[in-house]
A and B are shown apart, each in its own frame.
Chain A
Amino acid sequence: MTGNTLFKLGDWGIYALFIVTVLGLPLVMDDVFWLNRISKYLVYGMLGIAIALSWGYAGILNLGQGLFFGLGAYMVAMSLKLQSYTSTQQGSDMPVPDFMLWNAEPGAPTELCCIVQGSWLWLPFQSQWFGMAMAIVLPVLIALVLSSAIFRLRVSGVYVAIITLALVLLVRLLIIDAQPITNGFNGLTDLGWLTVAGIEFDPYMVSTYYVVAVSTCVVLLLTRWLVSTRAGLILQSTRDDPNRSRYLGYDVAAYQVFFFTVSAGIAGFAGMLYVIAAEFASPSFLDITFSISMVVWAAVGGRSSLIGAAIGAILINTIEATASETEMFQEAWKLIIGVIFVLVVLYMPRGLAGLAQDLLGRISSARGSGDKQAARSGAPAE
């Protein structure tokens, strides 16, 4: 067996192991509370994939991925808010979110169209499918416009990071400022459940876990396929040397725009799933801390490995949740996490995935020399 096939086997083995573990988890774990939690971490894993795609494969560091996640979350949350009991029981034909009533001026009609200024924006969200579609369409549209501007103007490197960072902060402030229609700092809480064909997806139900788990696996495999296509290979060449790719006749910006937009779409989808599992949307999704955390998860897991970044995100969040509830670590866990980040960047720049690759490499080289030895010892016997 050559080292190369071993690598490939190891690679597929890890993917298979991941998918089997994620899908088989409910069989061994019947604690719905933990299942719900893990479904949230799977969503974070999806964010890790999105980051690895744009950062690892395209070389574009997006420090504002929270923008797409947040918008996806808000779009679905608006729909689910209108389905909630408090919204449908306001004595109007159409559902009206409770916070709008608190913000309404005295004498304003209790109608979604005009209870507060701008509330008509909510009208189409009465359809749950509209909200779910917008959760992907809106991030994709914004990413398309933004990345076209960025990459056509050949802005690169740190400056892309700064533009995305400034944009996520900008939108966060707009959401907070539009308090009458977004509920400002408090975000959208008290949501209804996703209902498909009469089945209600209670977040604390195994079926909801499966919705998230299957989505994560599908996104993982699709992205893995995408980077192995011709377009994915060209993308990696634009990362390594944009000028040479340009001289070879490739439209570098087009590839960058496409993958940046795909990454944004994944983040929007993740935002949608998060709301279904966590039942709230808040401006904290657009906090700078959250966006940088995603990058850190990907860095710990391995920035240039899709599955590495996903595992990094899931692992860090699970450890955080466990550590913050263990009495001994209750206060110190954040400190420990900070130290781990520094150590990983200093000593393990390729993250967990790099560690796994080195391990596989060592095994395969040991195997390789073993094969040679076997061949040598076998030779005289012939």
Chain B
Amino acid sequence: MTETLFIGLSLSSILLLIALGLSITYGAMGVINMAHGELVMIGAYTGVLSGIYLNLNLLFALPLAFMVSALLGLALERLVIRRLYGRIIDTLLATWGVAIVLQQLIRLEFGLSFFGIHVDGLGPGLQSMDVPSFLTQPFEIAGVPIQTYRSFIILVTLLLTLLTWFLMYRTSMGVQVRAIMRNPQIAAACGIDVRRVSAFTFAYGSGLAGVAGVLLAGFKTVMPEMGASTVVDGFLVVVVGGVGSLLGTVLASAMLGQINGVFAILTNDILARAIVFGVVIAIILWRPRGLFSFRSR
């Protein structure tokens, strides 16, 4: 039973990492970023490439992937999303196009494949990332075997959640972000540079996606399509938790991850996911604003 809960917990933490970024971008800016999954994928590829070319191990790939995805997010905000604030459905459609473009860029090795150049670690095929040996050896606590890599994921998620909480609730930047969440016009009237803060927020959320990508790469195959399914899961977590609520996102990912984990043991993986979707529909019908949310906006 503890092992089931533990697997559920590690599923929850990956879910949380993906949802955390989405929660920030959706909550603060009203942007449905369908390319978030592709930022996860780019993070995973950053991990793979830094292993091949820079000989960096996973620990160093984490900050690198954060940087790469954050910069990409910044560019995305500047080029596309900035023009679409207030048109929520259009952000969904435009970023869907961006997602296709990003997937194809990796598949076509940034266009180099047209010239017959092959870059190791890119292209349509499957890639994998090596996990350093100290993260693969299982250890025991009081006779219960614990998988090191899974606990590492949980640890990283915990740290990043705390960091996000600190940034949002203990810094002046965080105050500005929360002000924008509640009411962007009034925030602007109070002298907050909404554009600049939004751009930073988006970059930070994207960076979190990059980190999630590296962690995913540690136990999943890396391929151009890997991100597409994660964005839906992440988004459901955000909505169930309540838009803009950090606590809600944490609890919703814990709940959905555990439901998935427990039912995967009781029935099978497919039915477990179906049950998760059913629970999500019921919750949205019951409380459209999510389990934890403030009113207004």
Contacts and interface: CB of A to CB of B under 8 A. Distances in A.
A169 B80 contact: no
A186 B152 CA distance: 38
Nearest to A345: B94
B295 interface: no
A346 B83 contact: yes
B89 A61 contact: yes
A162 B273 contact: no
Interface in A283-297: 288-289, 292, 295-296
A331 B108 contact: yes
A176 B270 contact: yes
Interface of A: 61, 149-150, 153, 155-159, 161-163, 165-167, 169-170, 173-174, 176-177, 288-289, 292, 295-296, 299, 331-332, 334-335, 337-342, 345-346, 349
Given A159-B288, A165-B232, A338-B104, A173 B271 contact: yes
Interface stretch (B12-20, B49-57, B138-146, B274-282): B274-282
A362 B1 CA distance: 71
Contacts of A159: 239, 284, 288
A169 B104 CA distance: 24
B101 interface: yes
Interface of B is mostly: helix
Interface string B259-297: 000000000101101100110110011001000000000
Nearest to A334: B104
Given A162-B239, A163-B285, A337 B100 contact: yes
> Which 3 pairs across A and B sit closest by C-beta, in order of nearness?
A341-B97, A338-B100, A170-B277
Nearest to A177: B270
A173 B277 contact: yes
Contact of B101 (A163, A176, A338): A338
Contacts, number: 108
B281 A166 contact: yes
B183 interface: no
A170 B113 CA distance: 38
A174 B87 CA distance: 34
A166 B105 contact: no
Contacts of B101: 335, 338-339, 342
A289 B232 CA distance: 11
B129 interface: no
A170 B288 contact: no
A173 B270 contact: yes
B96 A177 contact: no
Interface string B97-117: 111110111001000011000
A156 B288 CA distance: 9
20 contacts: A162-B284, A166-B236, A167-B277, A170-B278, A170-B281, A173-B277, A288-B232, A295-B93, A331-B113, A332-B104, A332-B114, A334-B100, A335-B100, A335-B105, A341-B94, A342-B94, A342-B97, A345-B84, A345-B90, A349-B87
A345 B34 CA distance: 14
The winner among A150, A156, A342 for most chain B CB atoms within 10 A is A342
Nearest to A349: B90
A218 B285 CA distance: 35
Contacts of B103: 334
Contacts of B32: 158
Contacts of B93: 295-296, 299, 341, 345
Contacts of A165: 232
A339 B104 CA distance: 11
A61 B90 CA distance: 11
B235 interface: yes
Contacts of B114: 331-332
Contacts of B270: 173, 176-177
